[in-house]
């Protein structure tokens, strides 16, 4: 085991491995905007919006991030009946994940009983109520998502002074959505009971919603687990929820079952061979029966930190450098385990990542 430790440590620790080798690797991944509209003309044919209408944005005009603001017209839904508004895309290029961005307007006197919902290929990603009389909502906005509240010009009075404007492109729930199909369907809808009372969806001038600056981007960032770990129970490494290895972001890995409350991450560029030996490589000769080396570590011991009482987390900062697109890297966690084996160390399964956008 000492020989193994010595060989691995000699390769460096605490360094970010990808920039060192990026120039030697082919760039094969890219991001691509596959749909975009600001509703400035006719309704795009990809939309099915039988009860929604192109409508002047009034006070919402020009709210939003640079390059993606409310324009002069958005797609507004104020019908008393409730049917979904859908965007259906076909013939998408090969990809592994999708980002959805749009601006959302919550207009007039929502009563806190209606749920605004968004689904992507049937997966419910957003479901929240809004109470415009008390200016409250079930939606805890991520940084940059809330663009403003106030009377944006549709009606006046105490129940109409808390319209809301959101940039849902700033919500991590809509970024890095796992997706490989050549088709994509996004559905915007309200879950409520239509009717004339406050506890109903009344529509009309009483409550409505609108979307603008809709953009769909596909990319090739990927993260997947392979093989297995060792220990009782086995040390595990899994990509954190909604974390993807994309340029300019931090890829997070959750490490579970670290019995001594500490864990470290090894990072490498191959899961095929290590020092001329084929992988996986049994670690039984090093006092670790049932454990296997799954990667060729270029970095051995990047520390993991506490995520919660039972999970440690490794953070892998990826520079915003186009030369890294398409780079493949491999991660494997290890942890002290004094009573597990003679070496007092267990290792996890592997994670294979492809850097994308």
Q: Over the stretch 225-244, which tens digit does the pLDDT of each residue have? A: 999 999 999 999 999 877 88
Does 86 or 135 have the greater pLDDT score?
86
pLDDT above 70 (res 313): yes
Over residues 51-89, the pLDDT tens digits come to: 999 999 999 999 999 989 999 999 999 999 999 999 999
- Cα–Cα distance measured from residue 344 to residue 146, given in angstroms and rounded to the nearest whole number: 49
pLDDT at 94: 87
Give the burial class of 272: count Cβ atoms within 10 A of its Cβ; 0-12 exposed, 13-18 middle, 19 or more buried: exposed
What is the signed CA dihedral for 76, 78, 81, 84, rounded to 10 degrees?
20
pLDDT at 178: 80
Give the DSSP H or E segment for 28: none
73 neighbors 55 (Cβ within 8 angstroms): yes
CATH 2.60.120 fits 32-219, yes or no: yes
Q: Which residue has the tokens 């797609």?
A: 75
Which residues touch 249 (CB under 8 Å, ≥6 apart)? 318
pLDDT above 90 (res 262): yes
Domain regions of the chain by residue span: 2-29+221-354, 32-219
Query: pTM score > 0.85 for this model?
Result: no
Identify the three-state secondary structure at position 71: coil
pLDDT level of residue 159 (50, 70, 90 thresholds): low
Over residues 100-112, the pLDDT tens digits come to: 999 999 999 899 9
- Cα–Cα distance measured from residue 131 to residue 297, given in angstroms and rounded to the nearest whole number: 53
> Which DSSP string corresponds to 150-199?
E--SS--STTSS-EEEEEGGG-GGGSSEE---S-EEEEEEEES-BSSSTT
Over residues 23-53, the pLDDT tens digits come to: 323 333 356 899 999 999 999 999 999 999 9
């Amino acid at each position: 085991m000492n020989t193994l430790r010595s060989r691995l440590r000699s390769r460096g620790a605490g360094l970010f491995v990808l920039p060192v080798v990026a120039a030697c690797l082919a760039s094969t991944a890219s991001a691509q905007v596959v749909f975009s509209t600001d509703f400035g003309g006719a309704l795009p044919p990809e939309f099915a919006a039988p009860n929604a209408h192109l409508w002047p944005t009034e006070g919402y005009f020009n709210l939003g991030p640079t390059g993606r603001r409310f324009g002069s017209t958005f797609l507004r839904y104020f019908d008393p009946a409730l049917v979904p508004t859908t965007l259906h895309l076909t013939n998408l290029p090969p990809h592994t994940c999708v980002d959805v961005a749009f601006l959302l307007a919550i207009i007039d006197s929502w009563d806190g009983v209606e749920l605004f919902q968004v689904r992507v290929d049937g997966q419910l990603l957003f479901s929240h109520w809004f109470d415009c009389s008390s200016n409250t909502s079930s939606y805890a906005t991520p940084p940059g998502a809330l663009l403003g509240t106030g009377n944006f010009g549709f009606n006046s009075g105490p129940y109409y002074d808390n319209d809301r404007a959101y940039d849902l492109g700033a919500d991590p729930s809509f970024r890095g959505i796992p997706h490989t199909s050549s088709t994509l369907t996004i559905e915007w809808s309200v879950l409520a009971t239509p009717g004339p009372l406050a506890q109903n969806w009344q529509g009309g001038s009483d409550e409505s919603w609108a979307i603008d600056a809709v953009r769909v981007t596909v990319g090739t960032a990927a993260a997947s687990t392979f093989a297995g770990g060792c220990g009782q129970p086995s040390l595990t490494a899994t990509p954190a929820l909604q974390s993807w290895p994309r340029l300019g972001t931090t890829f997070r890995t959750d490490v579970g079952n670290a019995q001594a409350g500490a864990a470290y991450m090894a990072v490498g560029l191959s899961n095929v061979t290590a020092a001329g030996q084929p992988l996986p490589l049994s670690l039984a000769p090093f006092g670790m029966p049932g454990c296997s080396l799954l990667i060729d570590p270029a970095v051995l011991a990047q520390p993991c930190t506490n995520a919660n009482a039972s999970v440690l987390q490794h953070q892998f900062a990826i520079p915003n450098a186009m030369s890294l697109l398409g780079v493949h890297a491999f991660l494997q966690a290890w942890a002290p385990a004094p009573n597990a084996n003679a070496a007092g160390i267990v290792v996890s399964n592997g994670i294979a990542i492809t850097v994308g956008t």
